[in-house]
Amino acid sequence: MFREKLILGAAASALVMSGPATADMDPSIGFYGTAGLIEMPTADMLPDAELSISYSEFANAENIAVGFQFLPQLSMTYRIQRLSSFGFDGGSRYDGIWDINYQILPEGEYAPAVLIGLRDFLGTGETAGQYIVATKTIADQLKLSVGVGWGRLGDTDEDQTDPDISGGSLRLDEYFTGDTAVFGGVEWKTPIKGVSLKAEYSSDRYFQENEAFIATNPPAFDRKSDWNYGLEWQTPLSLNVGIYQMYGDTVGVRIATSLNPRRPRPQGYIVPAPLPVQPRDQAARSDLSWLERPNVETVAANALRRTLAQDGIRVTKIKLTGRQVDIYVTGGRSIAAARTFGRVARALTYVMPESVETFVIGINNAGMETVTMKINRTQFEAFELSPDGVQQSARSFELGDAPLNPPGFTAFPGDFPRFRWSIRPYLNITLFSDGDQPDVNVGLSGSMSYQTSEKLRFQTTVRVPVIDGDSDSGDNAGPNESIYFTEFEPTLVNLRGTYTTKLGEQLYGTVSAGLLATKWAGIAGEIIWKPAAQRWGVGFEVGHVVRRDQDTFFELEDEDATTGHLTYYYDARNGFDYEVSAGRYLAGDWGTTVAVDRAFDNGWVVGLFATVTDLTAEEFGSGRFQKGFRIAIPLGWAIGTQTRRVIGSSIASTSGEGGSKLGIPGNLYGSVTSHQTDAVSGTWGTFWQ
Amino acid sequence: MMIRKILITAPLIVALSGCGINIGTGSARGNFGFNTIRDNIQAARGRNTPQEEGAQTKLTRDVVNGINRQIVQISLSKYGTKTVFTRAAVRQGAVTYLSPQKQTVTVQGGRVIRTRGLPFDLLETDFRNDADRVYRYLNAANNITELRVSCSRETVGTEAIEIVERSYTTTLVEEVCRSSGVAFKNRFWTQGSTIWKSEQWIGPNHGFATIEKLN
């Protein structure tokens, strides 16, 4: 192997690339994770699907915000706000705050963009504010914003906090009420690359902090001016850093970065090229003499094994007749569903005798045969080099439900029993709705699994915390918050057996027993009906569990719960997945959970979920209903190679077991749908890749 | 690595023929012969050990002459690294070249019609209408993106080029292609019916591929 570096000099002059005529100023991120000036909002939206992460600090307030551009006109932000030296005891207060922004009008040639927004729209009122704001870009380097604010951003000199109101609910009658105030500002993109200057007139009076009940402590800052000024620098590493002069008194900082599932990482995905399609000898197509040979299926499976092993694909069973091969495979290194079919089909062109005209490729996922794709070999050969083969093949190759226990196959069960283990770090953050310090745990998690077949799996996970910021383990109410190094006491997270199987042509099931989760032991199962080509499916899950003693590994407490849900799944095929479930939660409460995911064909998922149950606000805590968001980023997207690993996290505001589900082990719906029509058609390009 | 691919293909054939299953007899069979090139290079350099793998080696005409398989040198404008690709398959006039990094570039009638194993692969091209061409490639979200461009061609003149110590007097032909969002210029250095060198646009994420015919 050899390489030679070449410096492309004049040759590059051939490049006449010119982008579309948009020299607009990129929207910048404000203090609270959405497009904004400093503290004040603008009418800008970030690019669709942009995921922003930001940190800001000034005076006694810190905000860590995660924002997502859910639709081109709609952004949602969740931020954790920490107010130090708060209240009479001078302790810290933590809040989980939801903001939402909707752009009513995009910016036109002469008309400004107009946006309506709600800050802390589920909150207790202290930080809640509403606004309508307009923004216009002038000469590609200056951006002006003017808005009207209510609530926190209105002209208020009264304490907005109503002690009778507990947070976590929509209070539609209170939005856009009370005295208004005007805010605004300007952003200038300076000639220095990446540097912007901002100035804003703030309508936030900081009445409560400066004058109201907090007066027993020295105010966090002295609001001497209505004006804030800032300097922002877009660093080359896609990190934006800002420093600000706030209210004529103090200094603020803001750091922000953002990711987008549609924006390629510099290196993209690197997937080794497939084998070229092997053409056939016309004359040999009528030759069926090979059928008389013994063990043709085993021979074919052996021949395929090593080729497919490169893609992490394993053959589970084959049926070979003169004109058709039916083959089931499992595994596949790719998160793109269609690629697995393409790789198997290409390998088959090398291995299958010329007379075999039809390839039926089936997927076995977690022991369940979910789908089959029927490929006409002659078409497959032609499409590889035809000018529109990608599109034609998408129409020609049929995907359908795999039959239940089809006869006549030679099975290749694989190397079982299979033992696997892993050790990896974990980070766990629990947020509380009562203002307490979040519980931050960092440690090592060790997992072992023992599989006797594709269907039956025993698994255990042990966690050893290393750093524990648990609010229960010390007096964190005071100003001396600290992080504790633990005594390395391990936790047995789970010890359970799981059996997964296909029950009918379109029906799948799983059952688990043992120590199911950190807090619960028992038995739980799930059944899902989901035809391959149908957009929607229905699932039913049920569990009976006993509470585990948190101080020992195996002991149980005298408390049990029966929980169950009926779930409706819907794939809108426009990048949005919906899930609505109703049933009984772990606290014995009845209610409904709604989840909306924005899902991309490269494996990215950003979703929101909310649960409302029949618990009263008192029983549920101040969060009244559970809500949160989840993010899944495929590792392959981040590092540019093929892997099905996903980095995922969900953040939910929690207050006990009200509205919590058990969480059935394994992801049955995910396993069932991974290669169904929606997943395959969305990633069709990778069939040929 | 590449070596593995040959090892895989070979036993595949052995295993099958031994048991009486024929695998086609197309012209592409058994053409994954990167080891041949490496052996030749190593032989030319008087080494027989694979320890130099990955090291940067100067490609000379002596090395090229020692290779009895068709090879091309391809570089992408984004990376600027020249890599030797070997002819791995020929079908319907489409030649697929394979790199040691398991990337393939398929060329038909002198034009790049497919790439595989690159990020954002060029999935397919529709050049049936020479003036209105279609490029379909994979984007970061794993979806197919289609780009339609209008092209025109002109002969620029005679130009002398050098490819690994050998000079050619060529005719330079340029194609200018445009759409609302993109414009690019492909260049072909031809001598009779042979295209010795070309610079071709293969997608918005890569820009240009420069292909030099080595033998």
Place of tokens 């099931």: A509
With beta carbons under 8 A apart, name residues in chain A contacting B98.
273
B213/A191 Cα distance (integer angstroms): 46
Q: How confident is the model at residue A619 (pLDDT cuts 50, 70, 90)?
A: low
- Give A375 to chain B, closest Cα distance, Å: 18
Q: Give per-residue pLDDT as tens, A458-472.
A: 999 999 988 876 544
- Mutation target for A interface from B1, B13, B21, B182: give the one with most A CBs within 10 A: B21
CA distances from A286 to A131, A290, A297, A375, B188 (A): 75, 11, 19, 19, 44
Average pLDDT along chain A: 85
A34-43, A178-187, B27-36: the lowest-pLDDT one = B27-36
Largest CA distance in chain A: 96
B185/A16 Cα distance (integer angstroms): 7
* Four-point Cα dihedral A300, A305, A308, A311, nearest 10: 160
Range B4-12 average pLDDT: 32
- Cα dihedral sign, A29-A32-A37-A38: negative
pLDDT at B198 over 60: yes
Q: How confident is the model at residue A265 (pLDDT cuts 50, 70, 90)?
A: low
With beta carbons under 8 A apart, name residues in chain B contacting A354.
22, 24
Amino acid B142: pLDDT: 84
Q: How confident is the model at residue A174 (pLDDT cuts 50, 70, 90)?
A: confident
Amino acid A117: pLDDT: 96
- Give B192 to chain A, closest Cα distance, Å: 23
**Which of A269, A290, A685 lies at the smallest CB-CB distance from B123?**
A685
Amino acid B57: pLDDT: 60
Range B81-99 average pLDDT: 92
ipTM over 0.90: no
Q: Cβ of A21 under 8 Å from any chain B Cβ?
A: no
Range A180-191 average pLDDT: 94
Burial classification of residue A357, based on how many CB atoms lie within 10 Å of its CB (0-12 exposed, 13-18 middle, 19 or more buried): middle
B13/A289 Cα distance (integer angstroms): 18
Q: Give per-residue pLDDT as tens, A275-309.
A: 999 999 888 899 999 988 888 999 999 999 888 99
- Give B129 to chain A, closest Cα distance, Å: 11
Range A8-36 average pLDDT: 56
Q: How much of chain A, in percent, has pLDDT values that exceed 70? A: 85
Amino acid B40: pLDDT: 37
Q: Could A268 and B207 be called an inter-chain contact, meaning their C-beta atoms sit closer than 8 Å?
A: no
pLDDT at A202 over 70: yes
pLDDT at B47 over 60: no
Q: Cβ of B184 under 8 Å from any chain A Cβ?
A: yes
Question: What are the start-end ranges of the E strands in B32-91?
Answer: 71-76, 81-91
Contact B192, A23 (CB under 8 A): no
Exposure on the CB side of residue A320, measured as CA atoms within 13 A: 24
pLDDT at A321 over 60: yes
**Which of A5, A269, A284 lies at the smallest CB-CB distance from B119?**
A269
B49/A416 Cα distance (integer angstroms): 39
Q: Give per-residue pLDDT as tens, A81-109.
A: 888 866 666 677 888 889 999 999 999 98
The helix/strand/coil state of A339 is helix
pLDDT at B189 over 70: yes
Q: Give per-residue pLDDT as tens, A534-551.
A: 999 999 999 999 999 988
Most confident stretch, A410-419, A524-533, B11-20: A524-533
With beta carbons under 8 A apart, name residues in chain B contacting A386.
124
Instruction: Please name the residue of chain A whose CA is at the shortest distance from the CA of residue B54.
Output: A1
Burial classification of residue A602, based on how many CB atoms lie within 10 Å of its CB (0-12 exposed, 13-18 middle, 19 or more buried): buried
Q: Could A279 and B24 be called an inter-chain contact, meaning their C-beta atoms sit closer than 8 Å?
A: yes
Q: How confident is the model at residue A590 (pLDDT cuts 50, 70, 90)?
A: very high
- Picking from A239, A33, A240, A53, the residue whose alpha carbon sits closest to that of residue A649 is A53
With beta carbons under 8 A apart, name residues in chain B contacting A11.
77, 199, 210
Q: Cβ of A266 under 8 Å from any chain B Cβ?
A: no
- Give B21 to chain A, closest Cα distance, Å: 6
Q: Cβ of B116 under 8 Å from any chain A Cβ?
A: yes
Higher pLDDT, B31 or A50: A50
Range B125-135 average pLDDT: 94
Q: Could B120 and A268 be called an inter-chain contact, meaning their C-beta atoms sit closer than 8 Å?
A: yes
CA distances from A624 to A118, A609, A658 (A): 19, 14, 9
Question: What are the start-end ranges of the E strands in A616-688?
Answer: 626-634, 646-654
Q: Cβ of B43 under 8 Å from any chain A Cβ?
A: no
Those of residues 606-645 in A touching chain B at CB distance below 8 A are 637, 640
**Which of B12, B84, B176 lies at the smallest CB-CB distance from A351?**
B12
A469/A436 Cα distance (integer angstroms): 12
A250/A501 Cα distance (integer angstroms): 63
The helix/strand/coil state of A45 is coil
**Which of B41, B136, B208 lies at the smallest CB-CB distance from A2?**
B41
Q: Cβ of A264 under 8 Å from any chain B Cβ?
A: yes
Neighbours of A419 (CB within 10 A): 10
Contact A46, A35 (CB under 8 A): yes
- Mutation target for B interface from A3, A348, A395: give the one with most B CBs within 10 A: A3
Contact A527, A518 (CB under 8 A): no
Q: Give per-residue pLDDT as tens, A350-404.
A: 999 999 999 999 999 999 999 999 999 999 999 999 999 999 999 999 999 999 9
- Picking from A431, A469, A472, the residue whose alpha carbon sits closest to that of residue A622 is A431
A337/A670 Cα distance (integer angstroms): 12
Neighbours of A346 (CB within 10 A): 21
Q: Cβ of A261 under 8 Å from any chain B Cβ?
A: yes
- Give A638 to chain B, closest Cα distance, Å: 11
Q: Cβ of A310 under 8 Å from any chain B Cβ?
A: yes
Beta bridge partner(s), residue B167: B162
Amino acid A612: pLDDT: 87
Amino acid B28: pLDDT: 27
